[in-house]
Amino acid sequence: MQAIANIFSKSDFRKICNRLAKKDKRLAGIIKEYGYPPFWSRPATFQSLILFILEQQVSLASAYAAFTKLKARMGHITPPKILVLADKDLRACYFSRQKIIYARELALAIKHKKINLKKHKVMSDEAIRDEMIKVKGIGHWTIDVYLMHCLQRSDLFPLGDIALVKSMKEIFGLKQDIEKQKISEIAETWRPYRTIASMILWHSYIKKRNIKIQE
């Protein structure tokens, strides 16, 4: 069986930030200017995964508007509740055609026990990825942020995240057309805490643009 990856917690989050700051002056500069990033965390639930699906390739504000509308309609979001809604009901909650499909596919995967969220706490990152990637609409970015924010796995670096890549380019003075492989190589120096380094970089991106985050 594959070993479970390192897990961080709220109690050691800032200590890890400090370790990264000692290692990398650019990360230290972000913390000096903006303070520590928040401990961004969500429960490891279907509801959180629906929010991640809504956040795919759209603004956080748009995603949260859809999520809020859906919660107002059904309360806590569960697979059975999603599966009984018609297309028009989900469209009324600002779901696109694709995201209606993705939400239902995830609900069906959980209903038919192809995914068992309760077991994820004791599964490796690789095993979780292998299980979830089979579901239509669940790509590597969604899996990465789920592992980072819901399971507190410490060593993820989601190259598919536009804000993270933009922040890297800003902080490191990288060319706009730099290959993602080169960005990944820089991030290698932050192992085994690439998740926390990502959060520091997101913090910079959010603060520079005065983006309001709602959870």
- How would DSSP label each residue in 115-137? --GGGGGGS-HHHHHHHHTTSTT
Cα→Cα distances 71→40, 52, 60, 80, 114, Å: 20, 14, 16, 14, 25
In the prediction, which pLDDT does 59 show?
87
State pLDDT tens for residues 141-197.
Answer: 999 999 999 999 999 999 999 999 999 999 999 999 999 899 999 999 999 999 999
For residue 3, pLDDT beyond 60 = no
**Cβ 153 vs Cβ 6: under 8 Å:** yes
Q: Which residues pair with 153 in a beta bridge?
A: 7
State pLDDT tens for residues 43-56.
Answer: 999 999 999 999 99
In the prediction, which pLDDT does 1 show?
42
For residue 5, pLDDT beyond 80 = no
156 exposure class (CB count in 10 Å sphere: 0-12, 13-18, 19+):
buried
**Which residues, 6 or more positions from 81, have their beta carbon under 8 angstroms from its beta carbon?**
74, 75
Band (pLDDT 50/70/90 cuts) for residue 214 is low
> Mind listing the domains of the chain with CATH numbers?
10-40+156-209 (1.10.1670.40), 46-149 (1.10.340.30)
